[in-house]
C-alpha cells in the first residue's frame, strides 16, 4: 500500500508515533509518504520506501495568520494524485483531519481517497475541546473513514466529549524491541534519572528538578533532562536556585533516544496528563523503571508496584520515595526492570501492533 502520513514534525508523542509507524510500514514493504511543513524529527530519510513532501505556506499581507490547513489540504491532494496514494493517515485531529477531509473532497470527482484519523490525547482533551475548535474537530473526526485512539482512556474521553457515532478502535502505541533494549553492560558513572519530553507545562519538568533535589540529599545521582520547550528555561533556573545544577544535565533535543535510555535506572514521567505514556514505554523496553503519575491512560501500561510506580500528580514526596526505594533496593529494581521489559516486548511490540494498522487500512480500502 501507498500511505500518506501527516503529523506534527516537532517533538511530541503524536509525531514520534506517526514517524515510527511510517518507518515500520516501509520496512514491511509499503510506501510511506510524509506530508508536513518540516521533516519529522525522528524520520530516517535514507530508508527505502520513505518519502517526504514539504508543505509550503505562502504569506500575504491580507492574511493575519498563514492558512496552513488549506495549504496542507492542497498538498495532500497533489501528493495523493501524483504518487497514487491509497489512503491518508493523519495523526492529531487539529487541523490534520480537516485537511484530509478537504483533500478527499478535492479528488472525489476522479478517485476515492479515504483517510484514517488517529487521536493522541490533547487534540481531544485540550485543543479539540476548545469552543473555537470543538465543532470542526467533531465534524472532521466523524467524517474520517476510520478513527483510532492510543488508549481505552482516550476512547472513553473522545466519546464523552464529542458524542461520536462512528466506531473508534483502540490501537496502543508500540515499540521496536530490536532498537529499544537494555544495556549489555552496567552503565558507568553515578545512577541516572532521566526525563524525556517536549518541556511543555503539562509534562511538569520542574517536578523532575524538585524530585532530584530531594533524592540528592541522600544519594549521588545525575538527572538527564532530554528535550526542549517552554519549560526548559524555568527548569534550568530552578536547578540553580536549588543548588543542584552540577547534577542536572540538559541534553536538548535528541534523535537517538534508544542510546540514552539504557544508561538510566529510573525514568521520571510526572505529567499532568498522558493519553498513553510513550516516554514510559520507551524506558520500559530498555528495562528502565518508570516513576509516573496516575493520570489518563498510563495505568493501561504501568501496573503499580509491578513494572513501575504510579503516584498522584504533583505529589513530589511520594515520587521521591519511589525513586529512593529503587536506588536502595537493587533486587527490587532489577525485578521491576525485567517485568517492565517483558511488558513492552509482549504487549506493545511492533509485531503485535503494526498489523492492526494494516488491517484498518485494508478495511477502509474496502
Taking residue 303's Cβ as centre, other Cβ atoms within 10 Å add up to 15
Q: Which of 75-84, 115-124, 168-177, 280-289 has the lowest mean pLDDT?
A: 115-124
pLDDT at 126: 66
Sign of the CA dihedral with 155 first, then 160, 164, and 167 last: positive
**pLDDT band at residue 63 under the 50/70/90 scheme:** confident
Cβ-Cβ contacts under 8 Å for 60 (sequence gap 6 or more)? none
Q: Phi and psi at residue 195, in whole multiples of 5°?
A: -130, 130
Tell me what pLDDT residue 12 has.
76
Cell numbers linked to 129: 475541546
Check: CB of residue 224 under 8 Å from CB of residue 193. yes
Q: Is the pLDDT of residue 276 over 60?
A: yes
> In the predicted model, is pLDDT for residue 182 greater than 70?
yes
Listed in sequence order, the DSSP H helices in the chain are: 13-27, 68-82, 93-107, 122, 131-143, 152-162, 205-215, 232-241, 257-260, 278-285, 316-328, 330-347, 350-365
pLDDT at 61: 78
Within a domain: 229: yes
Torsion, Cα 265 315 249 220, to 10 degrees, reads -60
Pair (335, 357) in one structural domain: no
Question: Maximum distance among all alpha carbons in the chain?
Answer: 69
What is the per-residue pLDDT across 85-126, written as a single tens digit (0 to 9) for each? Answer: 999 999 988 899 999 999 999 999 999 999 999 998 877 766
Q: Are residues 205 and 168 in the same domain?
A: no
Q: Are residues 113 and 26 in the same domain?
A: yes
pLDDT at res. 241:
97
Do 38 and 170 belong together in one domain?
yes
- Of 357, 348, 363, the C-alpha closest to 32 is 357
pLDDT at 85: 98
DSSP secondary structure code for residue 103 in this structure: H
256 plus 356 within the same structural domain: no
Kindly indicate the confidence band of residue 334, based on its pLDDT and cuts at 50, 70 and 90: very high
**Domain count of the fold of the chain:** 2
Q: Do residues 146 and 196 share a domain?
A: no
Q: What percent of the chain has pLDDT over 70?
A: 98
Whether 128 has a pLDDT exceeding 60, the answer reads: no
Mean pLDDT over 304-317 rounds to: 97
Grid cell at residue 57:
505556506
Neighbouring-strand partners of residue 308: 304
**Can you tell me the mean pLDDT for 117-143?**
81
Residue 289: domain span: 192-347
> Looking at the structure, do residues 14 and 147 belong to the same domain, yes or no?
yes
- What value does the CA radius of gyration of the chain take, rounded to a whole number of Å? 21
Same domain, yes or no, for 167 and 63? yes
What average pLDDT does range 257-278 have in this prediction? Answer: 95
Tell me the C-alpha to C-alpha distance, in Å, between residue 204 and each of 150, 197, 315.
Answer: 21, 9, 12
Question: Is pLDDT of 359 > 80?
Answer: yes
Look up the CATH number of the domain holding residue 227. 3.40.50.2000
> How would you list the strands of the sheet with 115-119, edge to edge?
50-54, 31-36, 2-6, 87-91, 115-119, 146-149, 168-170
3-state secondary structure (DSSP) of residue 153: helix
Q: What is the pLDDT, as a whole number, of residue 129?
A: 64
* Per-residue pLDDT at 162: 85
Residue 184 lies in a domain: no
pLDDT value for 127: 63
Is residue 181 a part of any domain in this protein?
no
The Cα–Cα gap between 53 and 40 comes to 11
Mean pLDDT of 343-353: 95
* Cβ-Cβ contacts under 8 Å for 101 (sequence gap 6 or more): 115, 140, 143, 144
**For the segment 209-240, what is each residue's pLDDT rounded down to a tens digit?**
999 999 999 999 999 999 999 999 999 999 99
Place of cell 528495562: 287
The strand pairing partners of 224, in sequence order, are 194, 249
Same domain (yes/no): 17, 140: yes
Evaluate whether residue 116 is within a structural domain: yes
Do residues 11 and 41 make contact, with C-beta atoms less than 8 angstroms apart? yes
Q: Is there a single domain that holds both residue 153 and residue 235?
A: no
Q: What order of strands is seen across the sheet that includes strand 192-196?
A: 248-252, 222-226, 192-196, 266-269, 289-293, 309-311
Statement to judge: residues 230 and 357 lie in one domain: no
Per-residue confidence at 187, pLDDT binned at 50, 70, 90? confident
Rounded to an integer, the average pLDDT of 307-317 is: 97
Please state the rounded mean pLDDT for residues 43-48.
82
CB 292 within 8 A of CB 352: no
Task: Identify whether the C-beta of residue 114 lies closer than 8 Å to the C-beta of residue 104.
Answer: yes
The burial of 143, by beta-carbon neighbours within 10 Å (0-12 exposed, 13-18 middle, 19 or more buried), is given as middle
Mean pLDDT of the chain: 93
Smallest Cα–Cα separation from 194: which of 140, 260, 293, 101? 260
Amino acid at each position: 500500500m501507498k500511505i500518506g502520513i501527516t503529523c506534527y514534525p516537532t517533538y511530541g508523542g503524536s509525531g514520534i508515533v506517526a514517524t515510527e509507524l511510517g518507518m515500520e510500514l516501509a520496512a514491511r514493504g509499503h510506501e510511506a509518504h510524509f506530508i508536513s511543513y518540516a521533516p519529522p524529527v525522528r524520520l530516517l530519510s535514507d530508508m527505502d520506501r520513505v518519502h517526504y513532501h514539504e508543505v509550503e505556506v505562502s504569506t500575504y499581507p491580507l492574511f493575519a495568520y498563514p492558512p496552513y490547513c488549506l495549504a496542507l489540504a492542497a498538498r495532500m491532494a497533489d501528493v495523493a494524485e501524483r504518487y497514487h496514494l491509497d489512503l491518508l493517515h493523519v495523526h492529531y485531529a487539529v487541523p490534520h483531519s480537516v485537511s484530509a477531509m478537504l483533500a478527499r473532497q478535492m479528488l472525489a470527482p476522479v478517485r476515492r481517497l479515504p483517510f484514517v484519523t488517529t487521536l493522541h490525547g490533547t487534540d481531544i482533551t485540550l485543543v479539540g475541546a476548545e469552543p473555537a475548535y470543538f465543532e470542526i474537530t467533531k465534524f472532521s473526526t466523524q467524517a474520517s473513514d476510520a478513527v483510532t485512539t492510543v488508549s481505552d482512556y482516550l476512547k472513553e474521553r473522545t466519546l464523552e466529549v464529542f458524542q461520536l457515532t462512528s466506531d473508534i478502535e483502540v490501537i496502543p502505541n508500540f515499540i521496536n524491541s530490536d532498537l529499544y533494549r537494555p544495556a549489555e553492560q552496567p552503565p558507568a558513572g553515578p545512577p541516572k534519572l532521566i526525563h524525556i519530553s517536549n518541556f511543555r507545562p503539562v509534562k511538569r519538568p520542574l517536578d523532575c528538578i524538585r524530585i532530584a533535589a530531594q533524592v540528592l540529599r541522600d544519594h549521588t545521582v545525575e538527572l538527564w533532562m532530554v528535550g526542549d520547550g517552554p519549560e526548559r528555561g524555568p527548569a534550568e533556573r530552578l536547578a540553580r536556585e536549588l543548588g543542584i545544577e552540577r547534577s542536572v544535565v540538559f541534553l536538548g533535543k535528541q534523535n537517538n533516544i534508544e542510546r540514552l535510555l539504557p544508561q538510566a535506572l529510573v525514568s521520571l514521567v510526572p505529567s499532568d496528563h498522558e493519553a498513553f505514556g510513550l516516554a514510559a514505554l520507551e524506558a520500559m523496553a530498555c528495562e528502565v523503571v518508570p516513576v509516573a503519575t496516575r493520570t489518563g491512560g498510563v495505568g493501561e501500561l504501568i501496573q503499580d508496584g509491578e513494572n513501575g510506580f504510579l503516584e498522584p500528580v504533583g505529589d513530589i514526596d511520594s515520587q521521591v520515595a519511589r525513586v529512593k526505594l529503587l536506588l536502595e533496593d537493587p533486587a527490587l529494581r532489577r525485578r521491576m526492570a525485567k517485568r517492565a521489559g517483558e511488558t513492552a516486548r509482549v504487549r506493545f511490540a511492533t509485531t503485535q501492533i503494526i498489523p492492526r494498522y494494516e488491517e484498518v487500512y485494508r478495511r477502509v480500502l474496502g
